[in-house]
Amino acid sequence: MPSASPYPILRLRPKEDRRLRAGHLWIYSNEIDVQKTPLSAITPGSVCRMEDAQGKALGLAHVNPHTLLCARLLSRDPHVSIDEDFYRTRLQQALLMRERLFSAPFYRLVHGEGDGFPGLIIDRYEDYLVLQAGSLGMDRDLPMITAALQSLLRPAGILLKASGAARRLEGLADRVEVLFGHIPERLEVWENDCLFQVDPRGGQKTGWFYDHRANRRRLRDFAQGRRVLDCFAYVGGFAIPLSKAGASAVTAVDSSAPALVILEENAQRNEVANLRSIHGDAMETLHNLRDRGEQFDLIVLDPPALIKSKKDFKEGSIAYRRFNDMAMRLLSPGGILFSASCSHHLNRETLLSQIAFAAQRGDYQIIGEGSQDMDHPVHPAVPESNYLKGFFIHRREALPEEAEETA
């Protein structure tokens, strides 16, 4: 007989194991048989052995008894130990895949559920690592994860940049602190033949968005000789490579003055001279540009998540429609609009429907789709890990009328 588990047991109610057996990693509190295995007895953030209603092991999970999403499966092997060696092995698997995909150490090293680390994000900036812990279990295990990273990568510094709604749901306070070594005020990113600096402490997320790497590279093919508008430019991830790819002029819009300061510095660093920045609200700026009669040949529309929770769905989906409508009004005939959404709660079909609604007054066609790059792997049974959607939209040109034949 197998030895008793060193971890406390949580048993599911009858038939509530179906999602886990289908491959998903999440368990909700209303799926637990709290009469046989009370959630209230579990230490928040600890590891538990998950069992079905008949007592058959389903694996080991981080548990937070105070949240609706109360457990996240770490391993389907109930006999492993969740320790430093466990995390080192998982990290080695993630690293091996990235090293095969990318020639330089600038990438997302760990993408949550997609890499078997539910609730954890790690972005790599060469010798520096920036972590986001979005679950109580991962937050508690940070010492083991940090030790595993040190032994595997020998980084110069590890920064925890943990904030946002996910942590608040877990009952966690925001944390920005150095876990190991030192972290400079700015980190460097080499991407798409451009060198960027980012602010890991004060910038968005970990400072950079690796997920759009492939989409940025693809857009460069459309940049030659075109007037470009980047509506949520941040520190220049789209705007600068498009400028270097031959755009005739680039207008970069963002509501963050500190982000635009870094964008301007990044433009100088990459010897970009045809870029102007506008500090302001994106929608208000789009209206102002329309009122001035401006048009652009290539527009990038990549807003932050406009739907942060299910209750925001209606208002947020309308916002996507309005942004696409305004962008299409500014798009010149023959132009390209790249319209993206990183909202988990907005699926591909809904984004497409809002684009279609906005496109009714013109002649548009979708010529391609974009998604998150390959260092953001999708767990095949966890659709929530596939969050980034993007469409390449072309405004068709009216053909000139044929000249009348002369007698």
Tokens 């060193």 found at: 6
Give the residue among 228, 392, 363 at the shortest CA–CA distance from 298.
228
Give the contacts of 193 (CB within 8 A, at least 6 positions apart): 241, 244
Give the contacts of 126 (CB within 8 A, at least 6 positions apart): 104, 105, 106, 188
Q: Is 372 left (phi over 0), alpha (psi -120 to 50) or beta?
A: beta
Q: Give me the catalytic one of 48, 70, 194, 342.
A: 342
| DSSP code per residue over 86-99 | HHHHHHHHHHHHHH
Give the contacts of 60 (CB within 8 A, at least 6 positions apart): 7, 47, 48, 49, 50, 73, 74, 75, 77, 78, 80, 82
| Amino acid, single-letter form, for residue 105 | P
* Residue 194 annotated among the catalytic residues of the structure: no
Q: Which two three-digit tokens encode residue 164?
A: 């946002």
Q: Which two three-digit tokens encode residue 122?
A: 């790690």
| DSSP code per residue over 309-331 | SGGGHHHHHHHHHHHHHHHHHHE
C-alpha neighbours within 13 Å on the C-beta side of residue 60: 20
Burial of 182 (0-12, 13-18, 19+ CB in 10 A): exposed
Q: Which two three-digit tokens encode residue 102?
A: 């990318």
Active site residues: 342
